[in-house]
Structure 1
Amino acid sequence: MRALYAQSGGVTSVINASAYGVIDEARKNGLEIWVGINGVTGILKERFLDATELDIEFLKHTPAGAFGSCRKKMKNEADIQKLFDIFQKYNIRYFFYNGGNDSMDTAWRVQVEAQKRGYELKVVGVPKTIDNDLPHTDHCPGYGSAAKYIAIAMMEAALDLRSMWVDSTQVFVMEIMGRHAGWLAAAAGLGWLNGIGADIILLPEKPFDKDEFIAAVDRVVTKKGYCTIAVAEGLKYPDGFFVSDMGYTDSFGNRQLGGVGFTIAGMIRSELGLKIHVAIPDYLQRSGRHIASATDVEEAEMCGRMAVRYALEDNYGVMVTMERVSDSPYQIRYSSVPLNLVADQTKMLPKDYFDGYEITEKFIRYALPLIQGEPYPPYRNGLPDYRMFDIG
């Protein structure tokens, strides 16, 4: 029997640590482990890599998807039939799918189809998303490192702004990923623990009121001369429409968003006449392995290992989850949840984690353990020594 692992959706700085966990645990348990190149898209093209004897040590400190990712939903009957023809052809009996909301939907569909067809297949989802919006788990691998990156980036940008505002830029805007939930944007406020962070945080969970927002910016600038703003890409008006809807959808059916930072900067410039700089970290925030969280790396690897253990224990059709036992000392336990309870579901930032345009003490207690530790990658020539497989 053969096991298959694949990566799906937007990548993170620690998704390869989960890959390491799956592959190493599978090998320790005597499984022949293959990897699908570019998720189900590559599997349908029979693009595989035999990882049974592969050198995988570097995966623990390399960001992004070492085996390629994809954004494909398995809704087409022809694709589903082809997928199971391929599974049968190569005797695939375990399938570990590493992804977020939409990827868990794919994993669930594959498990249901296997049961319908009477095909022996154990599917386990390995969680991953910087958005931290998968339900039934305390947090997701990828979030802690991205949150750490955003917090540090905002601190450093705020110090720059503080240096220059007297006769230059007075407002800095950072546009942060987060389509429906504001978990990552909220992290821009964590720097206040060390004295400097985002003055205003705009979240999808708080409907955007232009007049209220402009008044808030004016108050901050009047008080100290400058203002730092973090805005989630999924910021919405009270009627539910995205402030930055680009007018089309991706292959998962999600509305494509972009430019919300420039949109609100234009509002500030028009209403207050201030000079503004806008930054969009984009891919940088999700693949910034040089300043990752040690907690995140360790948990990402363990989620991969637990996926294999659950499958071998006949606990399948599930996603690996983490349950928080305590904040201080920080402690979690691993568990699982049926895939159908996760598929296409979104966990929003709780209302008691933010107050107006600021984060609360409760969010800080939640997020702080997730950004601890600096597991720096090895360096060569003064740069991170990242390695990748040749996957074409």
Structure 2
Amino acid sequence: MDTHIQSLGPCLFPTPLHHIGSVEAPFKDDEDRILFRHETSTSQLEEEEESSPVSFEVAGPRERLYFDPSRTTVGIVTCGGLCPGLNDIIRGIVNQCHNQYGINKVYGFRYGYEGMVQRYGHTPFVLRPASVAQAHHFGGTFLGSSRGQQDVGDMVDTLEDMGVDILFVIGGDGSLRGASQITKEIERRGLKKAVVGIPKTIDNDIMFLDKSFGFETAFAAAVQAVTCAYVESTGAVNGVGLVKLMGRDSGFIACYAALAGSNVDFVLIPEVPFDLEGPRGFLEALRYRLVRRGSVVVVVAEGAGQELMGGGMGVDASGNPRYGDVGLFLKDRINGFFKERRMEVNVKYIDPSYIVRSVPANAQDNVYCSRLAQSAVHAAVAGKTGMLVGRWHGSFVHLPLDMVTHGRRKVDPKKELWHSVLESTGQPPNLR
């Protein structure tokens, strides 16, 4: 696992951050590291005795900079789907550049990578602290976003034409792969430009991160939908509250919303396959629970049960597989199952996906976004490139883009989170 962070060259400029108020800035250097593993076993200790343990470079301000702030131009782009906290990140970058480093040229590219291709005609915004002062009170991204790949050469041409020295890419897995391609094209041309990513995913599925920004806000909003489903289910004869939450390949939002809501009977996630039919299938377990309790709440992640729906539905503009609507699919199958048994059922289906991802970040995520933005600017002005910032074991670190984009973080059915869900819901551990 290569955790080395690329650097554009020697840092020759003194930082303006010698003092923050009356307190000396907590400068870091590249030798400050955070270990990858925080749990140990005998076999791991034996392996690490033979080689250096894997570790990540600590984020934070450096005493000397690669870029001269007075001559530096910054670009910011937000890509992919919406997520709570995007405006907080933009605001944090702009304020850190202007107020701490004295970087006065900050541009915001509009509508994702599409805004970095000149033929589309999306004129970049000039961003200043005054223009982003209230941005964190609103959901979404005021820069706009888009999905889909763009020509890397065209995007780097735009960076050259505008004299952009540092590009901040705020996006998920596909967007970070695009940032990696931009980094490689910049390197191929022999240019000295930094590309720093800030990982964004509402599904919390980016590798080597404690959590992604916006996740706490998202599952807090999801809990409200789960609560509504409980109220609806208890207000009807044999009521079934069915809630579909975001989570294409990872069921973190579904798990956390169920644990926080505490009135959930079944959680269905992509990592744990299930059957519909049969004596141990989901529908029979649902019938048994409904007979016993009179009402049931089911939370399903959008990527769960796709194998039951038969066949794919192509790909979206970003190249991701299009999934079938498992919420509507389950609604129909539940109604059909009970109709065959001549048993009354009242299914109340709730899909809060766009509400969950469009709300403003809460206070906890607001703080997290601010610290991510600060760490990203510290890294970029020190000439770090081809990397992203994230939090690992409670510390902010630098991670290579290529390492992070080679997989997805998932709920492990053998570990504590899923076991907590099973204990909370009381559902059978195996619905097959």
TM over 0.5: yes
Measured against aligned partners, the alpha-carbon deviations of 1:87-138 in whole angstroms (never above 9, x if no partner) come to 1111111000001111110111111111111011100001111100000111
Is 1:55–2:127 an aligned residue pair?
Answer: no
Which ranges of structure 2 fall in alignment gaps of 5 or more residues? Answer: 1-71, 340-344, 425-432
Measured against aligned partners, the alpha-carbon deviations of 1:15-72 in whole angstroms (never above 9, x if no partner) come to 1101111111111212221110111101112521111364211111210011001112
| Structure-2 separation of matches of 1:207 and 1:119 | 48
Q: Equivalent residue for 2:303?
A: 234
The number of equivalent residue pairs is 339
Which ranges of structure 1 fall in alignment gaps of 5 or more residues? Answer: 325-331, 362-392
Asked if structure 1 preserves the Cα contact closer than 8 Å seen for 2:170 and 2:200, the reply is: yes
Is 1:314–2:386 an aligned residue pair?
Answer: no
Aligned partner of 1:191 among 256, 260, 276: 260
| Structure-1 separation of matches of 2:311 and 2:246 | 14
Q: Equivalent residue for 2:283?
A: 214
| Structure-2 separation of matches of 1:125 and 1:360 | 37
Asked if structure 2 preserves the Cα contact closer than 8 Å seen for 1:111 and 1:317, the reply is: yes
After the TM superposition, list the runs of 4 or more consecutive aligned residues in structure 1 that deviate by more than 6 angstroms: none
| Structure-1 separation of matches of 2:337 and 2:419 | 21
Evaluate the alpha carbon distance shift between residue 336 and residue 242 of structure 1 in structure 2; reply closer, same or farther with a 3 A threshold: farther
Is 1:358–2:421 an aligned residue pair?
Answer: yes
| Structure-2 separation of matches of 1:315 and 1:84 | 18
Aligned-pair CA distance for 1:244: 8.0
Asked if structure 1 preserves the Cα contact closer than 8 Å seen for 2:243 and 2:298, the reply is: yes
Q: Equivalent residue for 1:101?
A: 173
Q: Equivalent residue for 2:267?
A: 201
More displaced stretch, 254-263 vs 104-113: 254-263
Q: Equivalent residue for 1:34?
A: 107
Is 1:67–2:130 an aligned residue pair?
Answer: no
Aligned partner of 1:111 among 183, 188, 202: 183
Asked if structure 2 preserves the Cα contact closer than 8 Å seen for 1:27 and 1:52, the reply is: yes
SS in structure 1 opposite 2:148? coil
Q: Residue type of the partner of 1:209?
A: D
| Structure-2 separation of matches of 1:133 and 1:99 | 12
Aligned-pair CA distance for 1:355: 4.6
Asked if structure 1 preserves the Cα contact closer than 8 Å seen for 2:225 and 2:243, the reply is: no
| Structure-1 separation of matches of 2:139 and 2:206 | 21
Q: Residue type of the partner of 2:137?
A: H
SS in structure 2 opposite 1:248? coil
More displaced stretch, 241-250 vs 277-286: 241-250
| Structure-1 separation of matches of 2:271 and 2:200 | 21
Asked if structure 2 preserves the Cα contact closer than 8 Å seen for 1:7 and 1:65, the reply is: yes
Measured against aligned partners, the alpha-carbon deviations of 1:143-170 in whole angstroms (never above 9, x if no partner) come to 11001111222023212322x123xx61
1:139-288 correspondence runs (5 A): 139-162=211-234, 164-166=235-237, 170-192=239-261, 196-211=262-277, 212-236=281-305, 241=307, 243=309, 247-273=313-339, 274-288=345-359
TM-score by length of 2: 0.74
Q: CA RMSD in A?
A: 2.0
Is 1:24–2:69 an aligned residue pair?
Answer: no
Aligned-pair CA distance for 1:246: 6.4
Aligned-pair CA distance for 1:346: 1.0
| Structure-2 separation of matches of 1:40 and 1:309 | 24
Asked if structure 2 preserves the Cα contact closer than 8 Å seen for 1:9 and 1:100, the reply is: yes
Asked if structure 2 preserves the Cα contact closer than 8 Å seen for 1:188 and 1:198, the reply is: no
Percent identity over paired residues: 24
Is 1:132–2:204 an aligned residue pair?
Answer: yes
SS in structure 2 opposite 1:6? strand
Measured against aligned partners, the alpha-carbon deviations of 1:322-369 in whole angstroms (never above 9, x if no partner) come to 123xxxxxxx221110000122531111222455893568xxxxxxxx
**Which protein is bigger by CA-based radius of gyration?**
2
Asked if structure 2 preserves the Cα contact closer than 8 Å seen for 1:234 and 1:242, the reply is: no
More displaced stretch, 4-13 vs 265-274: 265-274
Aligned-pair CA distance for 1:187: 2.2
Asked if structure 2 preserves the Cα contact closer than 8 Å seen for 1:244 and 1:263, the reply is: no
Q: Residue type of the partner of 1:172?
A: G
| Structure-2 separation of matches of 1:228 and 1:257 | 23
Aligned-pair CA distance for 1:242: 6.5
Measured against aligned partners, the alpha-carbon deviations of 1:225-271 in whole angstroms (never above 9, x if no partner) come to 0111111110135xxx3748661211111122242111112121121
Asked if structure 2 preserves the Cα contact closer than 8 Å seen for 1:13 and 1:64, the reply is: yes
Is 1:338–2:400 an aligned residue pair?
Answer: yes
Q: Equivalent residue for 2:164?
A: 92
